[in-house]
Structure 1
Amino acid sequence: MWVVYFVLLTLGSVHGLVRLDPLVNAPAGLIRGLRADDGEYSMFLGIPYAQVEEDNPFGASIPQAKFDGVFDASQDSKVCPQVEEYENTIVGSLDCLELNIYAPNTASSRNRLPVLVWIHGGGFTIGYTSRFIYGPKYLVRHDVILVALNYRVGPYGFFCLDTPEIPGNQGLKDQVLALRWIRENIASFGGDVNKITVMGESAGGASVEYHLLSQHEKLFNQAITQSGSTFLPGLLEEDGRSKPLRIAAHLGFETEDVTEAVAFLAKTDVKLVIAATTELGIRSRPCVEKEFENVDSILTDHPMNIDMPKARNTPVLVGFNNREQLVGYAMMPAEQFKHLNVFEDTLQKKFIYDEEFKEMEQIVRRFYIGDEELSDALRSNLTDFQSDFDFAFPIQLSLKKYLENGAKDVFYYMFSYSGDRNFVKKRVNVTAPGAAHADELGYLYDLTTETEPPTAADQLVIDRITALWTNFVKYGDPTPETSELLPVKWTSISEETYTYLNIDQDLSVGTRPYHERMAFWELFFEVNQHKLKGYREN
């Protein structure tokens, strides 16, 4: 039975108030949180849901045992080993498989609230869910419980070695354990176990799709993917077995035996492993796993070759930002453009590039820049090309996959707003119009990087996008009814009509964003299907 006790803590404020900090009796044990100071909600921070095995830190984690006493959930979740993106320093430890729960004060056993689970992005190499990065106050005010989880990134989460001990996708399997913990425990926090929506951005969005593709049980009812898809180019590992050998050699341990290299790295300080991985330019990516008896798998074939049965009857909200790759080209020095080999380099991420395919590169080149030589005058054209190939078209492929597999309702959006809280553009001081990759995060979360209150225009976007997202969480429909805040009806797509909501200074509905460019890629992929990496003819 759901029980919440309250502990009286006297505060030294001028008003002499008494603060009520919640103590929750969950299947995982007694968990004490604390009251938030920026809204009407409680926080339960740094709750461990799994443990990394000391003798196999690159392998699957194990579920957290029940707490013996009262777990103090007042400290933010720990960071998994990585190069932290804000200070560019190596941080983290392996006791990082923790989650944060933010529960509105209205949540109770008599008033169960829908649950929104956040999976962060970061290319499977960086990222964590600190309260001070993903501040919850904009979302929880809409009466939803927000849960933000950490998972292993980098080599500890994504070594793919084709062995039973380290088959691959350990970081995704961490997420599975977190989702199981949430299903087993969230009712104790006033959550509705039958209304769990999993949301992710970039690698987090791709993670959501991997869970829909996987063979494990379905652990959520709805999905939101932001700028993420399993069809993103370059997402899947191609040769993972060499990585431990290269990292170990970089640290002074030369061997041709993968098992020896892994044993050496398992005893090496995590910060040295991350430093070597970074210096070698090694990326972390999911992989197609070799199957082993009694070993759970996430992905055993390329996403394009398999069905997604767990999508059936699942409402999904999917979209991208209108200028995903804006920042890279906006910041590029003018003289660098003439040295780019952008079309070949980009197409190689998705296609087997041989002499036969070279003429295809010329077709793409002419479509986007005609016969022009590469120069800084073509920044906008190249931004369109890279954004289309890396995000807009892969997400259109995901939409098709959802429809083919019987998703209940698929809501499609494009985020185009350019304001003072565009997360990435503001950090790197890019002022070009449009929304770059991850820019929407500044309107969903209260970010630690923001020191000034939102402008009136930005506040309107915050109010709108959080209302749309939480309406979907609560009702499976982002606009169950129109209002002054949400004046347009956002309808789901069909095989005939890809209706989408454009989220800008105003809200507007259209069909098939960038339809001419998307039609080009649809035809291009169909003609060159046999050249797609991982393609298997049925």
Structure 2
Amino acid sequence: MFGISLFLLYILFSCGKCSEVKVETKLGEIIGEKTDVTFLDNNYQVDRYLGIPYAKAPVGNLRFKKPEPAEPFQEPYHATKFGAICPQFEFLSKGPNTFVQSEDCLFMNIYVPNQAPDQSTGHAVMLFLHGGGLSTGTGNQYQGEILSSAGNVIVVTINYRIGLFGFLHMNDDRTQGNYGLWDQHQALKWINENIEEFGGDKNRVTLFGQSAGSFSVTMQMLYPQNKGLFQNAISQSGTFSMPFLTFDDGDTTAKNYAEAAGCSTENNDEIYNCLMEFTIEKPSEIFLNAMMTGGDSAMYKFVTLPIVDGEFLKRSADDLHKAALTDDVEELNFFRSINLINGINEAEGAFYLMSYGAMDQLEDLQISREQMNNEIIPSLFSMVFGFNRALPEVVKNMLISEYTDWTGQNDPLKLRHQVVRANGDIYYNAPGVAFSILHANSTESVSYVYTFTAITDLPLLETPSWLNKANHGDELGPVFGYNWDYLQWFNLTEYVVPAWELDLSSRIITYWSNFAKSGDPNLPTASTQSAGPWPRYTVDDQKYMILDREESTGQFLFAKAHDLWRNIIPSVMEVVEESQETSCEKFSDQGTCEKDGVCDGE
């Protein structure tokens, strides 16, 4: 009886019963609309304000610049439809995409419940950062009416610059990078300055996100100038501890784009002028052409990522983890002052199956032993340790042994499961555990960890039937109360959400909104599950919550993967490389080393 049909959702969100609502802000009057929603037989009213500009349009001379604060409205601003999304290529949508793209895309959407707040200071506020690999996505896809009303919190979603326009850097003062991160920071400042007029409590702000949005959340936790702008964070499947998500320096990517556009690349002036002339469609055209004609290796030439710029990011994740052992680090102190929920889905590595083809190909996917040993294992090693470090034979054998199902070591159907596990370990599992241990090693705040294991009826990503585990992004439906545009996301006009998934959604919304209100997922509303309270995560016992049809608790989530990739293999690598260096010095003393450092006798 709890099923939600698309027809009912259409009736609820067609806004036939919408009425105008107004709020007076420091920037001027904003006009939104009141709408009705239903979730689990409960009827709610929500005020929604869509497409509010939180910064000046980053166009013209503001391209490749930090965002500037939005200017006051000259007349009442009608916030009744979504703003344009940032330039990108389409990725996840399976149905018609009606969003308009524009470089003028720094908009936010605010959802306010028509209920008394839990505290006299106003509603707790939750700001969501969308995923999409820092190359795609929009806050418009995540409609916050149900999370806002069922959780009794204000929900905010935003667009931020992505791709070339969000992260270009050329090692000079004109293009310093990290514009998408600065956009997120500007949105936090806007909320701090204006959310009280919407009934929000600016001192109870939770920043949450998924995938690249989750990675962004953890980046914001490293920027001390965010102090006072948010107090809690929820990272869903992504952290700054993931490999290869920041650059230390380099302008190669900018040069690659200019070359692909047919521009001269003799110097930075020519490259910069070329990129300033790009249409909003040009970066996506170049990126997709590289992907279609040259595969992953060609595509990576056009990937733009955050940079260690000395201002927003002062050091890489590896350097931060090392500094945490001995130094008093300002950004680490701020990071540990934020209350945290960190989550990892059961089979995050399934996200990378899409590189093996379309859905019909994934259903029949088989991985050979030769492919696993000589292609997949070496490539995973390189993603963690860099493409310039050789894979020692002893380390290769260790990894082959680890990612083998010994009940069928050469079975191509079992090996495909090992591919999922290995990708999950290097990108999410081991880094996620390292991230939570780094945070929990403090008394300034509290840490919580979950793993999402529920096998949902309609996975967000293409997931073959043989996997039968929770894929990357599967928790998003429950978090937002299944408030999807099903036609755009799944190309479906008829769908009924299973009753058990709605029950799970209700519990997750309670955990998330509790945390936003109190910094504790258990308070103020107790869970209806028999699992007991969600335990705190500490370095010693590493307890966590398992989110499924029925909740339960566990200990030492992905501890083996963490120990393998963060401790054992680095230690073996150090011994091997020291041994090779000693051997080379020995032969060098005998005059038998070649100019490139290769020694006779090795």
Q: Give the equivalent residue in structure 2 for 1:452.
A: 495
Q: 1:344 Cα shift?
A: 1.1
Q: 1:159-238 maps to which residues of 2 (within 5 A)?
A: 159-218=168-227, 219-237=229-247
Partner of 2:342: 318
Q: Which amino acid aligns with 1:309?
A: N
TM-score, normalising length from structure 1?
0.87
> Which position in structure 2 is the counterpart of 1:484?
528
CA change 1:407–1:82 in 2 (3 A) is farther
Which residue in the other structure is 2:40 paired with?
none
How big is the alpha-carbon RMSD for the aligned residues of Structure 1 and Structure 2? 2.6
Partner of 1:350: 384
Letter in 2 for 1:414: T
Within 1, Cα distance between the matches of 2:102 and 2:419? 39
CA contact (8 A) 1:499 1:510 kept: yes
Alpha carbons 1:153, 1:171 under 8 Å: kept: yes
- Give the distance between the partners of 1:486 and 1:473, measured in 2 at CA: 22
Provide the C-alpha distance between the structure 2 equivalents of 1:418 and 1:19, rounded to a whole number of angstroms. Answer: 36
Cα drift, residue 510 of structure 1: 1.0
Q: What per-residue deviation string (whole Å, max 9, x for no partner) do you get for residues 48-77 of structure 1?
A: 111214124122221111112111101113
Matches within 5 A, 1:506-525: 506-524=550-568
Q: For residues 356 and 343 of structure 1, do their structure 2 counterparts lie closer, same or farther at Cα, with a shift above 3 Å needed? A: closer
Matched, 1:384 2:424: no
Residue 486 of structure 1, CA deviation: 6.2
Which residue of 263, 270, 274 corresponds with 1:253? 263
Q: State how far apart, in whole Å, the 2-side matches of 1:31 and 1:78 are.
A: 18
> For this pair of structures, how many residues does the alignment match?
506
Residue 263 of structure 1: aligned partner: 273
- Partner of 1:300 in structure 2? 314
Amino acid at match of 2:241: F
Match of 1:416 in 2: 453
User: What do the CA deviations read for 1:92-135 (whole angstroms, capped 9, x no partner)?
Assistant: 211100100000112689661000010011111111011x5444
Distance 2:415 2:308 in 1: 37
Q: Which residue of 2 aligns with 1:30?
A: 29
Q: 2:87 maps to what in 1?
A: 81
Q: Give the C-alpha shift of residue 200 in structure 1.
A: 1.0
Partner residue in 1 for 2:154:
145
Q: For 1:411-456, what per-residue CA distance to the aligned partner results, in whole angstroms no more than 9, with x for missing partners?
A: 110000002143225xx56463111111111111211127423211
Cα offset, 1:84, TM superposition: 2.0
Candidates 129, 152, 157, aligned match of 2:166? 157
For residue 96 of structure 1, give the secondary structure of its aligned residue in structure 2.
coil
Task: State whether structure 2 residue 73 is matched by structure 1 residue 67.
Answer: yes
TM-score of the superposition, structure 2-length normalised? 0.78
CA distance in 2, matches of 1:489, 1:65: 46
CA contact (8 A) 2:150 2:509 kept: no
Q: Partner of 1:367 in structure 2?
A: 402
3-state DSSP of counterpart to 1:216: helix
Residue 75 of structure 2 aligns with an amino acid whose one-letter code is: G
Post-superposition CA distance 1:278-318 (Å, at most 9, x none): 323222211211x4xxxxx2112112323411133421111
Contact preservation (8 Å) 1:113, 1:192: yes
Mean Cα displacement is larger for which, 191-200 or 238-247?
Answer: 238-247
User: Equivalents in 1 of 2:261, 2:111: separation in Å?
Assistant: 41
Out of 306, 320, 323, the residue aligned to residue 286 of structure 1 is: 306
Q: Distance in 2 between matches of 1:349 and 1:339?
A: 17
Once the 2 structures are TM-superposed, how far is the Cα of residue 139 of structure 1 from its aligned partner? 4.0
Contact (CA 8 Å) 1:60, 1:166: kept in 2 or not?
A: no
**Cα 1:431/1:118, change in 2 over 3 Å:** farther
Runs (5+) with no aligned partner, structure 1? 1-16, 292-296, 532-538
Q: Distance in 2 between matches of 1:319 and 1:521?
A: 19
Q: What SS does the aligned partner of 1:423 have?
A: coil
Larger Rg belongs to: 2
Cα 1:64–1:430 change in 2 (3 A) is farther
C-alpha distance in 2 between matches for 1:177 and 1:498:
35
Residue aligned with 2:155, SS = strand
Distance in 1, Cα, partners of 2:381 & 2:443: 31
Distance 1:300 1:313 in 2: 18
Tell me how far apart the structure 2 counterparts of residues 195 and 164 of structure 1 sit (CA, whole Å): 36
1:87 to 1:18, Cα distance in 2 relative to 1, 3 A: closer
Amino acid at match of 2:76: V
Matched residue type, 2:306: P
| Counterpart Cα distance in 1 of 2:289 and 2:557 | 39
Contact between 2:453 and 2:469, CA under 8 Å: does it hold in 1? yes
Q: In 1, distance between residues paired with 2:395 and 2:129?
A: 37
Q: Deviations over 1:10-42 (max 9, x none)?
A: xxxxxxx98642111111221111112424111
What residue is the counterpart of 2:55 in the other structure? 50
Q: Note the C-alpha offset of 1:520.
A: 2.7
Shift in CA distance, 387/250, structure 1 to aligned 2, threshold 3 Å: same
Cα 1:148–1:530 shift into 2, 3 Å: farther
Higher helix share: 2
Equivalent residues of 2:18, 2:33 under 8 A apart: no
Secondary structure class of the residue paired with 2:77: strand
Q: Amino acid of the residue matched to residue 444 of structure 1? A: V
- Secondary structure of 2:348's match? coil
